[in-house]
Amino acid sequence: MIAFITGTVAAYTVDTIIVNNQGIGWEIYYPHTDKIRLNEQVNIYTYMHITENDVSLFGFESMREKELFMRLISVKGIGPKTVMPMLTKADADTIIGSIEQGNVAFLKSMPGIGNKTASQIILDLKGKLVETEQKGKAVPAAVAEAMEALKNLGYKTAEINSAANIMNEKPGLTTEEYIRMGLQFLMKKKLGG
């Protein structure tokens, strides 16, 4: 998994940028292409989305924006390509605020979001986004990647968060070490240990 990519902007379109990192051009779906300039040095936080037919990279300005993206795609019926236009149209704070206030009308104003989806977002995420924010701790990239790996393995958010608390007690490990630690913790919990 790729937590971030640093390099120079080689090209961009309406919704993607190509970042040259040591001679490799990474094509990344990015919600802020209007702020991008050619040959500019960038650091893009990334999420790799893998499906049966496609592997795509999605990029973000900050870990906070990436965290919001991860929460939104956990809502039933919402995929990465629905969330990206939302992040283009409004910043993370505005979207979080509208979810916390239960503002269906604002969410419905987002591209591709209807009444049912807006209500589902509020139902699933209200109260969960502020709690993450109040902890005030930025999740280290390796821990975030390990959490993502556990999610891909089918673990529930509550289980992943419990494992993340254990991971955060041991800073400075690699993603692989955190994944192993998380799996050991979850297996032990499952066996009632």
pLDDT digits (tens, 9 = 90+) for 54-65: 999 999 999 889
Does residue 24 contact residue 71 with C-beta atoms inside 8 Å? no
Complete domains list, the chain, with CATH: 4-60 (2.40.50.140), 63-135 (1.10.150.20), 141-190 (1.10.8)
Report d(CA 136, CA 65) in Å as an integer.
14
pTM, entire model: 0.66
How far is it, in rounded angstroms, from Cα 27 to Cα 116?
A: 32
What distance in Å separates the CA atoms of residue 161 and residue 165, rounded to the nearest whole number? 6
User: What does the pLDDT look like over 89-138, one tens digit per residue?
Assistant: 999 889 988 998 999 999 999 998 999 999 999 999 988 876 444 344 55
